[in-house]
């Protein structure tokens, strides 16, 4: 139930509204008060990008646990923020009525008037200093990631060729991360696809060069075609009404359910998978499609989606150990604070500047840059921001603009190009930008 909590007087022509998206890929931005985002309509985006699978109504700004208003003219920035995000995240909405923004929430929030410097980003940074006080953050070495050149077609040979090329071309990479494509099916993480005849051997080859080996995994999903789902259908989060597994997205063309990590046997299974990867030498984990761990539904233990999600994140950290680096992706923002080393803060980067169909969460430089700039205040406060990979090969539209955004606002530095695809400009820029991530705020 939404209740009105405030009415903020604004100058409609100049006022701005910040709305925090639910998870990494969800639309986050600083919008003119007269231009609320278009509502999400695609069923896939509703399941993936929206809190509780529900879109904000037309003409409404919606923040997941955080919304800020800069009235422009006179007056301080007002920040409406969650008190905590460990059991539920309040939905906060704002609607323009003449010269007022009327603000509603479905749970108690704090209201802070901030007259300090820096407008909305400055006020959000100060709010974050309170919300996430006392976190110790760690530097992340520069990463090479297989996704943005090879996508799901990546082979062991592609990774090896790049491992050789990074030495030959003197590209300073500290972590070599194998992305989606190595596994036979989401859930069956230790059964490799035919593209990876010897995954443990590849990991050893990477660590033998003195680099960290990294792997992508979607630990909170289970594909319906997997052996895991066939043998343990009771490990899926279920709709309390129908008893059917809750749909949690499509990965590798497989429709997926959410894995119930409150089930002790499912938790043991995941811990064993991660422990095996640790045993191969993997010490960097990009955990993806994490929103699936927070869907509401029937679980073994009676927990809210967010409680179950945080339980899952803790068990993942226990399984990989304190020295491994943990990067969240597709992950609910406020519930992850303090539980990951780095966090993807926007939709996927892509070679095309504009998203397909104009959709605000589809891969594209336009969408990625919007979120990375809007969420820059999280860098060095919640975690190291991951703006997504640098893509600097000649086929990438407006590539120097993306390099500038990553340099100015990002934290984690990751190379997404096949290194032999880079021309002289791309190689020089890549060498310059691949440095250890800062752990300090950028704004
Ligand atoms: C691997 C990729 C990469 C990438 C991640 C994630 O259907 N979707 O809406 C959708 C969104 C993002 C996405 C894939 C699908 O990309 O962000 O870095 O790891 O998964 O599959």
pLDDT for the residue 237: 98
If we measure between CA atoms, which residue out of 408, 411, 355 comes closest to residue 388? 411
Mean pLDDT of 98-106: 97
Tokens 């539980």 — which residue? 339
With pLDDT > 70 as the criterion, what percentage of the chain qualifies?
Answer: 99
Q: Is the pLDDT of residue 198 over 80?
A: yes
Q: Is the pLDDT of residue 73 over 90?
A: no
What mean pLDDT is reported for the chain?
97
pLDDT for the residue 443: 66
Asked if residue 361 lies in contact with residue 25, where contact means CB atoms within 8 angstroms, the answer is yes
Q: Is the pLDDT of residue 410 over 90?
A: no
Residue located nearest, by CA, to atom 18 of ligand 1: 348
Q: How far is the CA of 432 from the centre of ligand 1 (A)?
A: 27
Mean pLDDT of 71-76: 83
Mean pLDDT of 135-158: 98
Mutate which of 180, 219, 344, 416 for ligand 1 pocket (most atoms within 8 A of beta carbon): 180
Residues labelled as active-site residues: 288, 348
Asked if residue 14 lies in contact with residue 72, where contact means CB atoms within 8 angstroms, the answer is yes
Confidence of residue 222 (pLDDT cuts 50, 70, 90): very high
Mutate which of 147, 290, 372, 390 for ligand 1 pocket (most atoms within 8 A of beta carbon): 147
Q: Is the pLDDT of residue 38 over 90?
A: no
18 CB less than 6 Å from ligand 1?
Answer: no
180 CB less than 6 Å from ligand 1?
Answer: yes
Asked if residue 278 lies in contact with residue 318, where contact means CB atoms within 8 angstroms, the answer is no
Per-residue model confidence as pLDDT tens digits over 307-356: 999 999 999 999 999 999 999 999 999 999 999 999 999 999 999 999 99
Domains of the chain: 3-131 (no CATH), 143-433 (3.20.20.70)
173 CB less than 6 Å from ligand 1?
Answer: no
Q: Is the pLDDT of residue 39 over 90?
A: no
Per-residue model confidence as pLDDT tens digits over 10-22: 999 999 999 999 9
Q: Is the pLDDT of residue 263 over 70?
A: yes
The residues, any chain, with a CB within 8 Å of residue 177's CB and separated by 6 or more, are 143, 144, 145, 146, 213, 214, 215, 216, 284, 286, 414
pLDDT for the residue 75: 78
How far is it, in rounded angstroms, from Cα 236 to Cα 263?
Answer: 9
Mean pLDDT of 379-403: 98
Mutate which of 25, 178, 349, 414 for ligand 1 pocket (most atoms within 8 A of beta carbon): 25
pLDDT for the residue 252: 85
pLDDT for the residue 389: 98
Q: Is the pLDDT of residue 106 over 70?
A: yes
Q: Is the pLDDT of residue 33 over 80?
A: yes
The neighbouring-strand residues paired with 79 are 68, 112
25 CB less than 6 Å from ligand 1?
Answer: yes
Residue located nearest, by CA, to atom 3 of ligand 1: 147
Per-residue model confidence as pLDDT tens digits over 266-307: 999 999 999 999 999 999 999 999 999 999 999 999 999 999
């Amino acid at each position: 139930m939404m209740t009105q909590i405030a009415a903020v007087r604004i100058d409609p022509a100049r006022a701005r509204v910040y709305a925090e998206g639910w998870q990494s890929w969800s639309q986050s931005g600083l919008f003119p008060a007269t231009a609320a985002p278009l509502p999400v309509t695609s069923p896939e985006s509703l399941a993936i990008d929206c809190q509780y699978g529900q879109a904000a109504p037309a003409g409404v700004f919606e923040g997941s646990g955080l919304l800020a208003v800069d009235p422009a003219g006179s007056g301080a920035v007002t920040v409406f923020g969650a008190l905590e995000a460990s059991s539920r995240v309040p939905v906060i909405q704002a609607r323009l009525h003449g010269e007022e923004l009327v603000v509603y929430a479905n749970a108690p929030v704090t209201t802070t008037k901030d007259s300090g410097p820096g407008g909305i980003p400055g006020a959000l940074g100060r709010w974050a200093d309170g919300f996430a006080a006392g976190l110790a953050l760690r530097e992340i070495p520069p990463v090479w990631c297989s996704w943005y050149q090879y996508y799901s077609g990546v082979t062991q040979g592609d990774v090896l060729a790049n491992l050789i090329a990074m030495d030959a071309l003197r590209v300073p990479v500290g972590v070599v991360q194998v992305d989606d494509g190595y596994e036979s099916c989401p859930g069956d993480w230790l059964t490799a696809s035919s593209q990876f005849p010897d995954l443990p051997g590849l990991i050893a080859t990477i660590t033998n060069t003195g680099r960290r080996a990294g792997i992508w995994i979607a630990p909170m999903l289970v594909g319906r075609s997997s052996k895991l789902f066939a043998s343990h259908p009771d490990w899926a989060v279920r709709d309390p009404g129908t008893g059917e597994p809750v749909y949690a997205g499509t990965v590798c063309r497989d429709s997926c359910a959410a894995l119930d990590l409150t089930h002790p046997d499912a938790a043991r299974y995941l811990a064993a998978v991660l422990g095996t990867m640790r045993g191969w030498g993997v010490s960097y984990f990009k955990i993806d499609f994490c929103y699936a761990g927070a869907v509401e539904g029937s679980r073994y233990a009676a927990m809210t989606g967010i409680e179950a999600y945080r339980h899952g994140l803790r068990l993942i950290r226990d399984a990989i150990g304190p020295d491994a680096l943990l990067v969240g992706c597709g992950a609910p923002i406020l519930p992850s604070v303090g539980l990951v080393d780095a966090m993807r803060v926007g939709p996927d980067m892509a070679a095309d500047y504009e998203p397909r169909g104009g959709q605000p969460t589809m891969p594209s430089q336009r969408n990625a840059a919007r979120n990375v700039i809007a969420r820059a205040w999280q860098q060095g406060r919640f975690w190291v921001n991951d703006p997504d990979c640098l893509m600097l090969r000649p086929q990438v539209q407006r590539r120097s603009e993306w390099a500038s955004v990553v340099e100015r606002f990002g934290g984690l530095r990751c190379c997404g190009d096949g290194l032999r695809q880079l021309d002289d400009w791309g190689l020089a820029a890549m060498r310059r930008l691949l440095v250890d991530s800062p752990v300090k705020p950028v704004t």
